[in-house]
Amino acid sequence: MTPGPAGAGATPPRGPLAGLLVADFSRILAGPYATMLLADLGAEVVKVEGPGGDDTRTWQPPVREVDGQGVSTYYLGVNRNKRSVALDLKDGADLAAARELARRADVLVENFKPGGLARFGLDYDMVAATNPGVVYASISGFGSGPGGRSLPGYDLIVQAISGLMSLTGDPDGHPYRAGVAVFDVMAGLHATIGVLSALHLRQATGRGQHVEVSLLSSALSGLVNQTSAYVAGDVVPFRMGNSHPSLFPYEPLPCADGELIVTAGNDGQFRKLCEVLGVPELADDPRFLRNEDRTANRGQLRPLLVERLRTRTKMDWFRDIIGAGVPCGPINTIDQGVAFAEEVGLDPVVPAGEGPAALPTIRNPITFSDTAAEYRLPPPALDEHGDEIRRWLAEGEEAP
């Protein structure tokens, strides 16, 4: 039996993770994003919230009207396909229910401060003592070591400390944060990879393990070429606006009515670009023959490209440059980005749930030939499934 409505006759999930029970003790973004991905792929996710609910329920505007109330779109973006139960871990009965859920779970995901669940008997060692097969994923800001365990783990802080903000913005301007919590999302993805890897090993050994991910580790890994420049090349990268340190052209370039991103990532693409622009001789110019030459001489090459691009609109150039096999694209707003995804057949918006309660959400980015992602439930109201889950836990049944 699965918890909540699924155990009362609802269609069971059919995705590749169907049959897995995930106890989600996380909140805000990194953990909820990871558990939503698992839920999309068929896992049964029980979202455990404190009496006040996930913090993102209050992160508004913007909001969407649901049953006459404004609900945070931030919360809605990472919590579909879950069932909510509100448990006060300081209450004896609620704590017993939380421990029972942890005992039955295949996966437990949490992002308390390191050690924060130990006082409730919900840390990895205590949970594994009664559930040795559990895959227990902890997401923190700076790891569980003595130097980082007490530091608050907010994405913006990690963007600053990791060095990302030193790379973002105009060369002579102030550092800027990215427009989305990139390292929360990365950490959620890394946690998901860790969980799936540990589940695969469990098939052979029967035992789970503790998976740990920190935002700072995810950040340093996700900064890829920039961190590699330092650790492998002893070069400290610096802010370059929209320019790339190792490629040119690879940035917005002005056309008659606005800017167009043009990315010639190799010599062949640059030659094609020159042909489309009507300046094929540039591809044979010794200053621009190789990518290293173009990057070193970008100050001479850029005005020559801009001179041609300014003769037509960005969409005119977009069609011709793309048609020649050279990557490029307009700088869209979010609504235009969603519309473009629709134009190219990605069907980015899907309803979560059915009937009047269905909520428009962004499609899971993974596609399978046999087991598609499912969007069974809209994001739950606080404690929406509390009675059913408590009843299920009290029945003493094993996890599905």
pLDDT 10s digits, 109-123: 999 999 999 999 999
pLDDT of residue 6: 55
Q: Which structural domains are found in the chain, ordered by start?
A: 4-223+348-394 (3.40.50.10540), 250-343 (3.30.1540.10)
To the query of whether residue 94 is one of the catalytic residues in this protein, the response is no
pLDDT of residue 67: 87
Q: Above 70 in pLDDT, residue 2?
A: no
pLDDT 10s digits, 30-51: 999 999 999 999 999 999 999 9
Q: Above 80 in pLDDT, residue 9?
A: no
* Token digits of residue 363: 């499609």
Q: Above 90 in pLDDT, residue 158?
A: yes
Distance in angstroms (rounded) separating the CA atoms of residues 99 and 243? 52
pLDDT of residue 399: 41
Q: What is the mean pLDDT of residues 142-161?
A: 92
pLDDT of residue 284: 97
| Percent above pLDDT 90 for the chain | 92
pLDDT of residue 400: 36
Q: Above 50 in pLDDT, residue 8?
A: no
pTM of the shown model: 0.92
Q: Above 80 in pLDDT, residue 396?
A: no
Q: Above 70 in pLDDT, residue 157?
A: yes
pLDDT of residue 47: 98
Interstrand relation of 21-25 and 259-263 (parallel, antiparallel or unpaired)? unpaired
Interstrand relation of 21-25 and 107-110 (parallel, antiparallel or unpaired)? parallel
Could you tell me which residues come within 8 angstroms of residue 390 by beta carbon, excluding any fewer than 6 positions away?
Answer: 85, 97
Q: Above 80 in pLDDT, residue 11?
A: no
User: What is the chain's mean pLDDT, rounded?
Assistant: 94
In terms of Cβ atoms closer than 10 Å to its own Cβ (0-12, 13-18, 19+), residue 335 is: exposed
CA dihedral 322, 323, 324, 327 (to 10 degrees): 20
Q: What is the mean pLDDT of residues 149-178?
A: 94
pLDDT 10s digits, 276-288: 999 999 999 999 9
pLDDT 10s digits, 62-87: 999 998 899 999 999 999 999 999 99
Question: Which residue among 40, 54, 184, 383 is the active-site one?
Answer: 184
Handedness of CA 57, 62, 65, 66 (dihedral sign): negative
Q: What is the mean pLDDT of residues 368-375?
A: 94
Distance in angstroms (rounded) separating the CA atoms of residues 125 and 234? 41
